[in-house]
């Protein structure tokens, strides 16, 4: 009986740790980011719909109100989909902390239909200062 309760407790604890969100980030060069950076994540869920959000971490050196990027997604079977994307960065209405972070929807209700490693690259169209990291947040939709 004690063993069953122990196993049930462990299973419930582990199930509580599962999250419908996954984030993958990579650092950039905050003093002047101008080159491609890459992230990679594994996908095992080939049926659920997900929202993909680009996450941007920046500091007070970032002066713009938008960031123009080229986003390239490479699927496990090496198909590459590349497109321009503009991230609009809201003005700070409060005293700025050392850094700020925003999450902007990139794609809604996406099904990653291939199992395996997906890679994404982010390249700014012009050199930019103040961007510390960029990445993707995957959120399962209901």
| CATH number of the domain that residue 133 is part of | 2.60.120
pTM for this prediction: 0.81
Of 59, 86, 79, the closest CA to residue 120 belongs to 79
Phi, psi of 82 (to 5 degrees): -120, 140
Domain assignment present for 6: no
Q: How far apart are alpha carbons 43 and 37 in whole angstroms?
A: 20
* CA–CA gap between residue 131 and residue 56 (Å, rounded): 7
Domain span at residue 73 reads 20-140
Residue 15 lies in a domain: no
**Number of compact structural domains in the chain:** 1
Per-residue pLDDT at 11: 47
Whether residue 11 is contained in a domain is answered as: no
Q: Which of 12, 10, 42, 41 is nearest to 25 (CA)?
A: 41
Specify if 34 maps to a domain: yes
- Residues (pLDDT < 50) of the chain are 11-18
Query: Is 90 inside any structural domain?
Result: yes
Q: Is residue 72 part of a domain?
A: yes
Asked whether residue 79 is domain-assigned, the answer is: yes
Residue 121 lies in a domain: yes
For residue 16, the model assigns a pLDDT of 41
């Amino acid at each position: 009986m004690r063993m069953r309760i122990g196993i049930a407790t462990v299973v419930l604890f582990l199930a509580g740790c599962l999250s419908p969100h996954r984030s993958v980030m990579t650092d950039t060069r905050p003093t002047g980011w101008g080159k491609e950076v890459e992230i990679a994540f594994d996908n095992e869920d080939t049926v659920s719909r997900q929202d993909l959000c680009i996450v941007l971490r920046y500091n007070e050196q970032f002066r713009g109100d938008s960031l123009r990027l080229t986003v390239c997604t490479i699927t496990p079977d090496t198909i590459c989909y590349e497109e321009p994307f503009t991230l609009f960065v809201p003005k700070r209405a409060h005293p700025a902390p050392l850094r700020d972070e925003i999450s902007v929807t990139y794609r809604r209700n996406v099904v990653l239909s291939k199992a395996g490693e997906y890679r994404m690259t982010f390249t700014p169209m012009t050199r930019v200062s103040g961007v510390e990291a960029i990445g993707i947040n995957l959120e399962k939709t209901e």
